[in-house]
Structure 1
Amino acid sequence: MPIPDFNSAVGHSFGLEVDSVMIKQITEVSGLKMEQDVIEYKANTPDGKYAIHKMPGRPKAGEVTLTRGLTADNSFEQWITSSRFGKMGDARKGGAIIVFDYEGMPIKRYRLTNAWPKSLEISSLKAGDTSVLTEKLVITYEAMDVE
């Protein structure tokens, strides 16, 4: 029996790839999930008992939150500006969230379809504070595939 490789399950760093541009400074990814509706089918069994059967329904759209340290890179701001002014043709993009191992090799790729930024939040600005300033980008998407 082969020994499982537990090291490959450790996400060392994360990246966002949009329009063939890679942003590797992502420090946290939350809310990444695939979900679908549940359809309940109620019926009677052949012996007359009441039964509920559950079946998969339509997939649901999702949202994911990406956090990175605040830098001079303004790609997040440019992207959300397109959606704020209704330029959805420019705002909707295909992209992927990539999990890298400690050697920088991709472990998993979560491909997002018709993704666009819903909100951008800058961490609290406090004079004299020594914590790292961050920005959180919430991206909504219509579908997600795992590669």
Structure 2
Amino acid sequence: MALPDLDGSVGHSFGLEIDGVQIKSITEVSGLKMEQDVIELKQNGPDGKYVIKKLPGRWKAGEVTLSRALTADQSFEKWVKDSQFGKMGDVRKGGAIVVYDYEGNPVKRYKLTNAWPKSLEIGALKAGDTSVLTEKLIVTYERLEVE
């Protein structure tokens, strides 16, 4: 039996597109999740037995964490600063997290609706350390769709 070709499913790099601006240097994406409430309908069936049915409910908003090496690019900082000043009309953005293959071609897109930055964390600063400094941006969104 032949094994499936999974070469194309290896995520070689990730990017964030927000209102047409591309940030391709994302090194890690975590927490990407589509979820909805579950409604329990409790009733007695025609034969008098107690039955619990589970029905789909409302979609839940989510959060995703994006990590990248610290660069001179100020896009994360500007987006966070705008949200701190309450410019939510400018801050809520549509965008997508894009997975690229080894040749840089998009493999899959995860569309975010009304996304805005919740927090920005800079990695530990240690004198003499040879590891790469990172920044983590936590983005909250109202809906996630796979394109």
Instruction: Specify the TM-score bucket, using the shorter chain as the normaliser.
Output: over 0.9
Q: Per-residue displacement from partner, 1:105-144 (whole Å, max 9, x unpaired)?
A: 1111001000000000000001011111000000000011
Q: What is the aligned length?
A: 147
Partner of 2:45: 45
Partner of 1:72: 72
Alignment partner of 1:99 is 2:99:
yes
Question: Where in structure 1 are there 5+ consecutive unaligned residues?
Answer: none
Q: CA deviation at 1:4?
A: 2.9
Q: Per-residue displacement from partner, 1:15-39 (whole Å, max 9, x unpaired)?
A: 0001211100000000000000000
Root mean square deviation, CA, Å:
1.2
Q: CA deviation at 1:5?
A: 2.4
Partner of 1:108: 108
| Equivalent residue letter for 2:19 | D
Find the aligned partners of 1:3 and 1:131 in 2 and give their Cα distance.
Answer: 38
| Equivalent residue letter for 2:91 | A
| Equivalent residue letter for 1:92 | R
> Following superposition of structure 1 onto structure 2, how do residues 127-138 of structure 1 map, counting pairs within 5 Å?
127-138=127-138
Q: CA deviation at 1:8?
A: 1.4
State the TM-score, normalized to the length of structure 1.
0.97
Alignment partner of 1:124 is 2:124:
yes
Q: CA deviation at 1:64?
A: 0.2
**Bigger Cα displacement from structure 2, 43-52 vs 28-37:** 43-52
State the TM-score, normalized to the length of structure 2.
0.97
Question: Where in structure 2 are there 5+ consecutive unaligned residues?
Answer: none
Identity, % of aligned positions = 74
